[in-house]
Amino acid sequence: MALPIFSVSTACAILVLALYRYIIYPAFVSPLAKIPTAHFTSSISPAWILWTRFRGRNNVSTYNAHRRHGPVVRLAPNEISVNCVDGGIRTIYAGGMEKHRWYPDQFASYGVVNMFSTVEHHGHSARKRMLSNVYSKSFLQGSPQIRENSVILLRDRFLPSLQEAAERGTAVEVHEMNNEFTMDFMSAYLFGIANSTKFSINHVETRQFMVPYHSRRHYEFYSQEVPRLNQVTKKIGLPIVPQWVDDANERIEAWLLKMCEGANSYLNDTTSTGAEPVVYKQLKAAIEKNQAKGLGTYATDRMRLEIASEMLDHLGAGHETSAIALTYLFWEMSRHPDLQRKLHDEVLALEPRILWPPERKQGFDLPSSKSIDGLPLLHAIIMETLRLHAPIPGVEPRVTPTGGCTLAGYSNIPANVRVSAMAYTLHRNEDVFPEPEKWRVDRWLKPTDSPELKEMLRWFWAFGSGGRMCIGSHLAMQEIKLIVAAIYSNYTTSIISDEGIEAIDAYTTRPRSNQLILKFEHV
């Protein structure tokens, strides 16, 4: 039977339009067509990059694409990756391009966005202004609460447990230990020492949090990269992300709400003792102040969830990243006994020394944060660890603005293109970091006015850059420096097992085996 002419011509027109829209335009006409592609299908389909991400190969595959094609590569019809400072991260991140939907799809808790997951500038900068003071370097270095927390945590928890392991000669799984240390440290600053976690002395409590927290990781791909698929499969009753992931989220959220309630009771009770909940107090007061000025109106319950969403994000972002940095730092140091000796000499110059066991436990005191911060070798060791083992090595997606932009010489890049850079690739530029795969602490031990050091600092991206740069970078540096100084003042570390230490390829990394087993010996 002959088809009506109308149907045939309509079908042909649709086919030609589709051919133009999905193949000819993106591959040959679009302003993005001149950018080299990471894969031969990248200009017409996101399938390759989605499959690469699904298999956990995003960072290494994008890095290889940059090695082949230079500082700008096209990963998908509407996505590009940049790997340069001028015309790259400066334009995108310091230039203030907005975050991609990727963030709220993955990082909102209680159904409420927080500073990290807010997309638009206005809401983000209002929240950041509320909290920047309590995370500024001068505030942190002078904070009596951090000092009090640090003495308690080192004296009553961290150092006694390491001493016990050293005396008994027992092996220590340091990745979990680091997560415990950093969680106790971070939660004490957020919620006050009385309401903080006690993971480093209560391992059952650790597991109750860590198991649901990390078990969700496997499913992040769906909410980050294919959120609609996630929603649709849920609607039709065949969820691609199992129900237990939602249950795990609910358990974590309920657990965190209790800590917020504890901090709130502390503030309402005039007889409360111990270091106060600095961040909780600051955020609550700032939101209340805005409300009083008529700048925001929240029902009480909404305000509770706003605060909780922010606190949960800081607790997660704050403990996990620092723990990863510490794990790789201990691993590298354990492979470099010569550096352990040098660092030991450097930290022994602190006044007072962080010696354990102390002559009198109650007299245990710490050197000032400023003096620890000024130790050059300690600083270089941490910088090199954050370079080679960046805890967040993966994509930090943004969206090109209305009117488009120019990136690294490619002009007319249209609006709404997903663009990102990665610490993983920026930190492996061999012109800036010779022998990039080697952990070479000496590269950071250069005079402050050396051009090489200045160039390395321009490319150093462990904490991101621009208006959305990590708010916790000074806190993380202070905490890591304190813990490392305390450990190498007293112990040497050596590897018992580093099987599976290689990093997983993800937005936030960790050792594949989730563990590193070391031996601590008293010096």
The residues of the shown chain that bind ligand HEM, judged by CB under 6 A, are 115-116, 128, 313-314, 317-318, 321-322, 325, 391-392, 396, 462-464, 468, 470-472, 475-476
Rg, the chain, Cα only = 25
Q: What's the DSSP call for residue 96? A: T
**Measured from the CB of residue 326, what is the shortest distance to ligand HEM in angstroms?**
9
Kind plus residue range of the DSSP H or E element containing 493: strand 491-497
Three-state SS for 230? helix
- Closer to ligand HEM by CB, 176 or 320: give it: 320
- β-pairing, 517-522 vs 410-413, is unpaired
- Closer to ligand HEM by CB, 84 or 311: give it: 311
**Measured from the CB of residue 463, what is the shortest distance to ligand HEM in angstroms?**
5
**Measured from the CB of residue 452, what is the shortest distance to ligand HEM in angstroms?**
23
CB atoms within 10 A of CB 104: 18
Strand partners, 399: 98, 418
Distance (Å, rounded) from C-alpha 317 to C-alpha 320? 6
- β-pairing, 517-522 vs 98-99, is unpaired
**Measured from the CB of residue 185, what is the shortest distance to ligand HEM in angstroms?**
9
Query: Which residues, other chains included, contact 347 with Cβ-Cβ below 8 Å and sequence gap of 6+?
Result: 353, 354, 375, 378, 485, 488, 489
**Measured from the CB of residue 436, what is the shortest distance to ligand HEM in angstroms?**
18
**Measured from the CB of residue 341, what is the shortest distance to ligand HEM in angstroms?**
25
Three-state SS for 186? helix
Q: Give pairs for 226-232: CB < 8 Å, separation 24+.
A: 226/50, 227/101, 227/105
Q: Which two tokens stand for residue 370?
A: 């400023």
Residue nearest ligand HEM by beta-carbon distance? 472
Q: Which two tokens stand for residue 143?
A: 């904070």
Are the C-beta atoms of residues 386 and 329 closer than 8 Å to each other? no
- Closer to ligand HEM by CB, 176 or 313: give it: 313
**Measured from the CB of residue 486, what is the shortest distance to ligand HEM in angstroms?**
17
- Closer to ligand HEM by CB, 72 or 476: give it: 476
Write down the residue that tokens 């657990």 correspond to: 255
**Measured from the CB of residue 236, what is the shortest distance to ligand HEM in angstroms?**
32
Closest CA to 282 of 157, 115, 446: 115
Write down the residue that tokens 């409300």 correspond to: 291
CB atoms within 10 A of CB 514: 15
- Closer to ligand HEM by CB, 43 or 306: give it: 306
- Closer to ligand HEM by CB, 358 or 436: give it: 436
- Judged by phi (left if over 0) then psi (alpha if -120 to 50, else beta), residue 464 lies in left
What ranges in 21-173 are assigned the alpha helix state H? 47-54, 58-69, 102-107, 121-131, 137-142, 144-152, 159-168
Write down the residue that tokens 């006690």 correspond to: 198
**Measured from the CB of residue 153, what is the shortest distance to ligand HEM in angstroms?**
15
In the chain, the amino acid numbered 160 is P
In a 13 Å sphere around the CA of 446, the CA atoms on its Cβ side amount to: 14
**Measured from the CB of residue 97, what is the shortest distance to ligand HEM in angstroms?**
11
Query: Which residues, other chains included, contact 356 with Cβ-Cβ below 8 Å and sequence gap of 6+?
Result: 159, 160, 162, 163, 486, 489, 490
**Measured from the CB of residue 98, what is the shortest distance to ligand HEM in angstroms?**
11
- Closer to ligand HEM by CB, 165 or 516: give it: 516
Exposure of 190 by Cβ count < 10 A (0-12 exposed, 13-18 middle, 19+ buried)? buried
Distance (Å, rounded) from C-alpha 444 to C-alpha 458? 13
Does 405 carry a binding-site annotation?
no
Distance (Å, rounded) from C-alpha 16 to C-alpha 11? 9
Known binding-site residues for heme equal 470
Known binding-site residues equal 470
